Amino acid sequence: MYTQSLDVPGHADSAQIAAPQDDEVRQAAFDARMSADGKIEPQDWMPAAYRKTLVRQISQHAHSEIVGMLPEGNWISRAPSLKRKAILLAKVQDEGGHGLYLYSAAETLDASRDDLVDALHSGKAKYSSIFNYPTLTWADVGVIGWLVDGAAIMNQIPLCRCSYGPYARAMIRICKEESFHQRQGFDALLAMMRGTDAQRAMVQDAVDRWWFPVLMMFGPPDAASTNSAQTMAWGIKRISNDDLRQKFVDATVEQARVLGVTLPDPGLQWNAERAHYDYSPLDWDEFWRVINGDGPCNRERLATRVKAHEDGVWVREAALAHAAKQAEREAGERRAAA
């Protein structure tokens, strides 16, 4: 349960939205809250479409965190030193925690966690397409931290101001942890770039493979994003896909220079007129292919998730049995005291 969201001090006008009987009045109160840039809390009335959009977005986000543990998890047993292993373990564990906060945030919207997890396992629910690419070398782990977590931060910082309170609050903590993830990735790559020619070549190869899929993490171009206008009006999304992508490119070019790697796009160049970097068009056919299940690792990722869930049945059963036993004991103690 995401109890933090249920009773928020200082949110005095909650009752105003909950009390009116008439849907039009409720809608007007909701709209007024939106235009005042206020927060919506779980106990507030909200339009069904707003609730549905949030459940979809928050659960996709949760699935991405959980599936995102897998590509890097493959390298925990092969990390090149104890220090790197400890860092990677902490990072992968953080991603599991992000998934759990987000499933809890979705539950505050009356979504059932079992249904959400079933939708992931049956292939009905989407998760970030980036996690369907393989991690072939240790440099991939560094590049995921630097670029994938870097792109995630760019995407998620505006979500800290999202209109739905529990989601916004979850994102504040998540972004702090993502920032550590990005720095540890950059640091691992910097160590390799100061190493041998073979290590530098490994980093460059990883950057070549990840750069374009990372740019696609921001989603389809604005002109093809059908839901964007509505999610912007609802204060769920604050910055458009293309604007976020541009911010990421502009910030990353300088970091690549410090690292000493070449970003694999001959069209990448400073445009003085726009005061931004231009970059080549992305292969959106590849994006749709991967998101619809046909990326290099989609089947492997889902099979691993399903197996982990099935292997964990005994833990869930034991936890429920323990909770039932404890409730019984407490009820007995109450009876004895009465």
Residue selected from 178, 206, 246, 298 as contacting Fe ion according to rule CB under 5 A: 178
Residue selected from 181, 200, 209, 305 as contacting Fe ion according to rule CB under 5 A: 181
DSSP letter (8 states) at residue 40: B
Q: How many residues bind Fe ion (CB under 5 A)?
A: 6
From 40, 7, 14, 1, select the one nearest 167 (Cα to Cα): 40
Q: Is the CB of 46 or the CB of 159 nearer to Fe ion?
A: 159
301 interacts with Fe ion by CB under 5 A: no
Whole-angstrom distance, CA of residue 128 vs CA of residue 136: 19
Check if the beta carbon of residue 142 is closer than 8 Å to that of residue 40: no
Whole-angstrom distance, CA of residue 272 vs CA of residue 216: 24
* Residues of span 19-38 touching Fe ion by CB under 5 A: none
Q: How far is the CB of 166 from Fe ion (least distance, A)?
A: 17
Q: How far is the CB of 171 from Fe ion (least distance, A)?
A: 10
How deeply is 176 buried, as exposed, middle or buried, from its count of CB atoms within 10 A (0-12, 13-18, 19+)? Answer: exposed
Q: Give the count of beta carbons closer than 10 Å to the beta carbon of residue 201.
A: 12
State the binding string over 144-173 for Fe ion (x if CB under 5 A, else -).
Answer: -----x------------------------
From 68, 175, 73, select the one nearest 129 (Cα to Cα): 68
State the binding string over 38-77 for Fe ion (x if CB under 5 A, else -).
Answer: ---------------------------x------------
Q: Is the CB of 26 or the CB of 98 nearer to Fe ion?
A: 98
Q: Give the count of beta carbons closer than 10 Å to the beta carbon of residue 167.
A: 26
Q: Which residues are near Fe ion by CB under 5 A?
A: 65, 95, 98, 149, 178, 181
